[in-house]
Structure 1
Amino acid sequence: MTVEFLLILAAGAAAGGLINGLAGFGTALFGLGFWLQIMDPVHAVAVAIFMSVATGLQGAWLVRRSIMDQPRRLAGFVVPGLVGIPLGVAALSFLHPGYLKITIAAMMILYGGFFTVRRTLPRLERSTPVIDGCIGFLGGIMGGAISLSGALPTMWSAMKIWSKSETRAVLQPFNIVILGVTGIVLLFRGVYTLETMTHIAVALPVALIFAQTGIALFKRLTDDQFRQLLVAMMFLSGTILLAKEVL
């Protein structure tokens, strides 16, 4: 590996780790922009999934009490999400991943843009287990198809009255489980080669350090500030995703 290769690899790890530590998602969206310059798409995604799970575990530990307080809420997202993963993998046989990413990016931009210009976000106070399950199911499909498991759950949770810890206690474990299972599928497909694991070994310490920086920033946010951050991240993430696909 050249010095330039190492710098780009580390830059992607730093960007993805920081965002994951701060918002609880976004490693792939922010890291892939760097890694696709030095790796083929399949191995870049494999690295991104591993980094998402590894850095996500730190954030999940941070809100472990909130996770244990509401296990049924989390299960309401995760269980349908697991059902959706094989459907997402199967969908790749007849859906073009690029078109699907553009559609999702457009949704993220419209959602983020609309609620960014509003003074207040909707505040859904009642329990919505059926909708939660549908969101988890669709998130699982998107995770299996294009590794974007967190987009819809993030949009939905930003409209809830949950505290920032409660929100993260859903988003972080959900992404860890969905992307972890997707990573296992890639493992059995032989994607995690010695070369890929070498790239991960180099990038992982950088990602973990910057994730801690993001977590430190997360602790300083109020609940409302965190909800606004999620909305802004949706707009930014959608813009980045759309730019990658179009350009």
Structure 2
Amino acid sequence: MTFEMIMFLVLGAAAGGFINGLSGTGTALFALGFYLVVVPPVTAVAIVALMSVLVGVQGLWVVRASIFARRDRLLRFILPGLCGVPLGLVLLSIADSATLRLGIAVFLIIYGGYFGFRAALPAFERSTPVIDGLVGFVGGALGGAAGVSGALPAMWLSIRPWTKSETRAVLQPFNMVMLTTTVTLLFFRGAYDAVALKALAVTIPCGLIAAQVGLFVFRRLNDITFRRLLILLTLAMGVGILLSELA
């Protein structure tokens, strides 16, 4: 590997690992731009997906108590999400993925821009198991169709007045299950070739260290600040998707 390739891989791993440690999502948004400069698109997706899963284990450990305390809540998102992934793959084969991603980007920008800079955040307090399941299902479908499984759950969870640990105890496992599905499919398609394995040898250690820095910051955020962070992250996701499609 050249020095330029190593540099871009390290920068992407540092950015993606930090945001994963901080919020439990958003790795691809901050890492893919660096990876795509030096490796093919399929290899870049394969790298970021596996790195997200491995780096995310650290975040799961931090909120393990919240995960086990409300396993029923987590399953309301994950099980429908897994059912939604095949539908997303069907949509990918019959719909224009670029148009779909642009629509998602505009929606995220409007939502993130409107709520991100309000003095008071919205708070949807009552229990909504049906909506939770629908959000998980659509999130899985969007992951299969456009690679943005975490966008809708992040948006929905940001308006729930839960603690930061409760929110992360849903968002991070959901993303990891969807990404593990992606990694499995990519593995059987031969995406983890020699180039990908060499890149992973660089990105995984850097991502793990950067995630620890993000977790350090996460532990010092209060619940309101974390919710606002998620809303602003949806705005960043929308802008990132929009720019990638327009480019």
Q: TM-score range by the shorter chain?
A: over 0.9
Equivalent residue for 2:243? 243
SS at match of 2:237: helix
Residue 12 of structure 2 contacts residue 34 of structure 2 at CA under 8 Å; is this kept in 1? Answer: yes
Residue 8 of structure 2 contacts residue 35 of structure 2 at CA under 8 Å; is this kept in 1? Answer: yes
Q: How far apart are residue 147 of structure 1 and its match? A: 2.2
Equivalent residue for 2:136? 136
Instruction: Tell me how large the CA RMSD over aligned residues is.
Output: 0.9
Q: Distance in 2 between matches of 1:48 and 1:95?
A: 25
Asked if residue 201 in structure 1 is aligned to residue 195 in structure 2, the reply is no
Asked if residue 108 in structure 1 is aligned to residue 103 in structure 2, the reply is no
Q: Distance in 1 between matches of 2:234 and 2:95?
A: 23
Equivalent residue for 2:190? 190
Equivalent residue for 2:160? 160
Equivalent residue for 2:81? 81
Name structure 2 gaps, 5 residues minimum. none
Equivalent residue for 1:43? 43
SS at match of 1:36: helix
Residue 147 of structure 1 contacts residue 179 of structure 1 at CA under 8 Å; is this kept in 2? Answer: no
Equivalent residue for 1:14? 14
Runs of 4+ aligned structure 1 residues displaced above 2 Å come to none
Q: Distance in 1 between matches of 2:59 and 2:158?
A: 18
- Aligned residue identity for 1:238: G
Equivalent residue for 1:31? 31
Residue 49 of structure 1 contacts residue 147 of structure 1 at CA under 8 Å; is this kept in 2? Answer: no
Residue 151 of structure 2 contacts residue 237 of structure 2 at CA under 8 Å; is this kept in 1? Answer: no
TM-score with structure 2 setting the length? 0.98
Q: Distance in 2 between matches of 1:146 and 1:57?
A: 24
Asked if residue 219 in structure 1 is aligned to residue 219 in structure 2, the reply is yes
Residue 85 of structure 1 contacts residue 182 of structure 1 at CA under 8 Å; is this kept in 2? Answer: no
- Aligned residue identity for 2:241: L
Equivalent residue for 1:70? 70
Q: Distance in 1 between matches of 2:96 and 2:34?
A: 23
Q: How far apart are residue 121 of structure 1 and its match? A: 1.4
Name structure 1 gaps, 5 residues minimum. none
How do residues 90-105 of structure 1 correspond to structure 2 at under 5 angstroms?
90-105=90-105
Q: Distance in 2 between matches of 1:227 and 1:163?
A: 9
Q: Distance in 1 between matches of 2:8 and 2:159?
A: 36
Q: Distance in 2 between matches of 1:15 and 1:97?
A: 26
Equivalent residue for 1:180? 180
1:52-82 Cα offsets, whole Å, 9 max, x none, are 1111111011100000000000000000000
Comparing 128-137 with 191-200, greater Cα deviation is found at 191-200
Q: Distance in 2 between matches of 1:50 and 1:16?
A: 12
Number of aligned residues: 247
Q: How far apart are residue 113 of structure 1 and its match? A: 0.2
Q: Distance in 2 between matches of 1:143 and 1:238?
A: 15
Q: How far apart are residue 236 of structure 1 and its match? A: 1.6
TM-score with structure 1 setting the length? 0.98
Q: Distance in 2 between matches of 1:234 and 1:222?
A: 19
Q: Distance in 2 between matches of 1:91 and 1:239?
A: 23
Comparing 81-90 with 219-228, greater Cα deviation is found at 81-90
Comparing 26-35 with 117-126, greater Cα deviation is found at 117-126
Q: Distance in 1 between matches of 2:102 and 2:20?
A: 22
- Aligned residue identity for 2:129: P
